[in-house]
Amino acid sequence: MSSTVPSLAQMRASLPPEKDRLDSLWLRFVLRKLSFPVTWVFIRLGFSANYVSYLSMLVVFGGTILMSIDDYFARMLGAFLFNFWVLLDCVDGNIARVKQQVNAYGEFADAMSGYIAYAFVFLGMGIAAEHTKPIMPGVMNQMNFVVMGALASICHLTTRLLYKKFVEVTGQPTLGSGTKPNILFTNIGITGLLMPSVLVSAIFGWLHWVTLFYLFCWGGAGAYFVVTKIIAVERSTQL
């Protein structure tokens, strides 16, 4: 059995340098490095890339449920599970590459796991923030963070949807890989800054700030995207 398990060096070698370079810093320097030994364990346990994708969906659901429970340790575990989801997201890719299981089915299953995370991570964070929010000044005290989390999730999904629709209609990607907006979104996004932020804020009770930050971040990104890309399409139509 061990002869079929690739070595850590083989796993590292299977990762295209271009892909590694375009990942967020958190993913590149922390989770990706952790993912290689975890991948080794999963391969050793007989998991295929697709089964890891299915498991990652369950991990996101589990993380959301734990974040919804009004208990410090449940929240901590929830935040940990969200990070574990990103780790599994790396693991299924690693397995697919080293076992040469890259196919459309796996890619779609992996994408599905991502879509579920986009819908649930912010919602879970919002529910946890509602439990932990302190007494805040003025209007902020009236805020319902479950709604804020749901809105952040909607903004994230809508921005992603707009991007995909734009690509489909125009036939060209809007944010070229490696461009400044792409690097920014990747580093702030769900596999970037969000993950360490959730961990730290779950410890110190700052989840309400993180929820608000991501609501403005994705709301702003969506608005920026709509305005700039509609103008771009309008100009290209006129030419």
Partner 1 sequence: MLESNKNDKRKKVSARDICQCYTSEKARSDMVAQTWIYLVLRPISFYLTPLFINLGFSANTVTCLGLFPLLGGMALILLGSHSPLNFTIGAMLVNIWYLGDAIDGNIARFQGQTSKFGAILDWLVGMLYHTFLPVCLGLGLYLASPERAMLALGLDFPKWIWLLAGAVRLFAELLREVVSLGGRKIVGLKIVDQIDSKAKISLKDILPRIFPNFEIPLLLVSSLVGVLGFFLLFYTIYNLAILAGMILLALRKALLADQQRTKEGENL
Q: Contact positions toward partner 1, by CB under 8 A?
A: 103-105, 107-109, 111-112, 115, 118-119, 150, 153-154, 157-158, 160-162, 164-170, 226, 229-230, 233-234, 236-237
* Least distance from partner 1 to the Cβ atom of residue 227, Å: 11
CB neighbourhood size of 3 (10 A): 5
Residue 195: CB minimum distance to partner 1, A: 21
* DSSP-H helix ranges across the chain: 8-14, 17-22, 25-26, 32-44, 49-68, 72-98, 104-132, 145-170, 180-188, 194-204, 207-238
Which residue carries 């940990």 as its tokens? 80
Q: Are 127 and 79 a contacting pair, CB within 8 Å?
A: no
Smaller CB distance to partner 1: residue 168 or 204?
168
Closer by beta carbon to partner 1, 107 or else 209: 107
Nearer to partner 1, 38 or 146 (CB): 146
| Torsion angle defined by CA atoms of residues 205, 208, 213 and 217, in that order, rounded to the nearest 10 degrees | 130
Smallest gap, in angstroms, from Cβ of residue 203 to partner 1?
29
The CB-of-97 to partner 1 minimum distance in angstroms stands at 16
Q: Which is nearer to partner 1, 44 or 165 (CB)?
A: 165
- Considering the complex, what minimum distance in angstroms separates the CB of residue 235 from partner 1? 9
Q: Compare residues 41 and 231 and give the one whose CB is closer to partner 1.
A: 231
DSSP string, 103-152: -HHHHHHHHHHHHHHHHHHHHHHHHHHHHH----SGGGGG--HHHHHHHH
